[in-house]
């Protein structure tokens, strides 16, 4: 209890508003990409930076979205088991996805797509698979079956499908962060649950990124982390869900069962320079549960904060000292 109290006190102190001490030009733009609202705030940017960012977001959506005809992901999924030559960035993402899948014991998976397609957490139909449908699809979930060949080729066995929704936003945040460096004083990039803070605000302070309270409203936070030049990624079971026959079904599926990952975790926040790694790791942590998640984060050298269904706060060693200031 003392550990929980110390973390809560530090988080509460961190969210205190600090007035800006410097005046600079700010630009903010909002778009809708990757099935989420993208908000970009730039401090003293060059004249073309915002335009270049939004163009890059559009390019990545056309490259990586499962639902865009002709995207790399679409071509892999419809190739019928034949090799597909993809953009090198797609190949890089799949390489990292396979690594994280292996290190998480399959808790993170991009081949879970046949299962996720059987569920509906956004349109209100409360669609879910029958046990028979789910059991038929389970053998198709196997990231080790993805073959990454020379010259950026990808081979996926027939009937399998991939969905990069659990890692692509992180990769895109990393690349947009690279794009803005040197072209503005600082930037706050918000890709839904993926936030990348580039540089330090003109008032000399780090960015404050709020951590959502899983038990509260969508706007409720119980504290914040203080960061610069890193990404803060949060994943939670409260984001998309429905209740059917008294059972709460959320959108983070356990690849081993095809059912929601009913563990003791309600939310996970991971802080790292690689938003791609933090993105995939946060999802894996929900599937692993608190004990497995702490071991997994420690093994990968990642900083994380976990919130259980009962409201208990757990963190990797040194999290509060490093990120709560």
Residue 38 has pLDDT above 50, yes or no: yes
Q: What span, in angstroms and rounded, lies between the C-alpha atoms of 235 and 193? A: 7
The confidence band for 284, taking pLDDT boundaries of 50, 70 and 90, is very high
In CATH, which of 3.50.20.10, 1.10.3980.10, 1.10.287.110, 3.40.50.720 is domain 67-162?
A: 1.10.3980.10
Condensed to tens digits (0 to 9), the pLDDT of residues 206-252 reads 999 999 888 877 777 888 999 999 999 999 998 888 899 899 999 99
Q: What is the mean pLDDT of residues 95-102?
A: 98
- Residues carrying CATH 3.10.520.10, the chain: 1-18+205-325
Q: What span, in angstroms and rounded, lies between the C-alpha atoms of 32 and 54? A: 10
- Full-model pTM: 0.90
Say if residues 297 and 316 touch (Cβ distance below 8 Å): yes
Condensed to tens digits (0 to 9), the pLDDT of residues 289-316 reads 999 999 999 999 999 999 999 999 999 9
CATH topology of domain 1-18+205-325: T-fold (3.10.520)
- Residues carrying CATH 1.10.3980.10, the chain: 67-162
The confidence band for 279, taking pLDDT boundaries of 50, 70 and 90, is very high
168-180 vs 275-300: helix crossing angle, rounded to 10: 110
Which range has the worst mean pLDDT, 11-20, 26-35, 176-185, 197-206?
Answer: 11-20
Rg (CA), the chain: 20
């Amino acid at each position: 209890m003392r550990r929980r109290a110390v973390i809560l006190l530090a988080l509460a102190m961190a969210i205190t508003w600090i007035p800006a001490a410097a005046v600079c030009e700010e630009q903010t733009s909002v778009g809708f990409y990757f099935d989420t609202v993208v908000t970009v705030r730039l401090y003293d940017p060059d004249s073309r930076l915002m335009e270049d960012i939004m163009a890059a977001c559009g390019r990545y959506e056309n490259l990586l979205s499962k639902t865009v005809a002709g995207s790399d992901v679409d071509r892999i999924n419809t190739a019928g088991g034949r090799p597909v030559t993809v953009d090198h960035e797609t190949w890089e993402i799949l390489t990292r996805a396979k690594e994280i899948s292996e290190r998480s014991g399959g808790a993170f998976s991009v081949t879970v797509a046949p299962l996720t397609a059987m569920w509906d957490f956004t349109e209100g139909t409360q669609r879910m698979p029958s046990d028979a449908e789910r059991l038929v699809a389970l053998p198709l979930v196997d990231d080790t079956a993805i073959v990454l060949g020379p010259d950026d080729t990808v081979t996926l066995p027939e009937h399998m499908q991939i969905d990069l929704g659990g890692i692509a936003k992180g990769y895109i945040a990393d690349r947009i962060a690279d794009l803005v460096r040197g072209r503005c004083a600082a930037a706050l990039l918000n890709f839904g649950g993926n936030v990348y803070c580039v540089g330090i605000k003109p008032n000399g302070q780090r960015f404050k990124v709020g951590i959502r309270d899983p038990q509260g409203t969508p706007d409720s936070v119980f504290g914040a982390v203080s960061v610069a030049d890193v990404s803060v990624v949060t994943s939670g079971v409260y984001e998309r869900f429905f209740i059917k026959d008294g059972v709460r079904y959320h959108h983070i599926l356990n690849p081993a069962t095809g059912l929601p990952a009913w563990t003791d975790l309600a939310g996970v926040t991971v802080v790292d320079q690689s938003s791609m790694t933090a993105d995939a790791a946060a999802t894996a942590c929900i599937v692993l549960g608190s004990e497995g998640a702490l071991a997994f984060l420690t093994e990968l050298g990642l900083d994380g904060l976990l919130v259980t269904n009962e409201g208990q706060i757990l963190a990797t060693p040194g999290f509060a000292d490093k990120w709560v200031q």
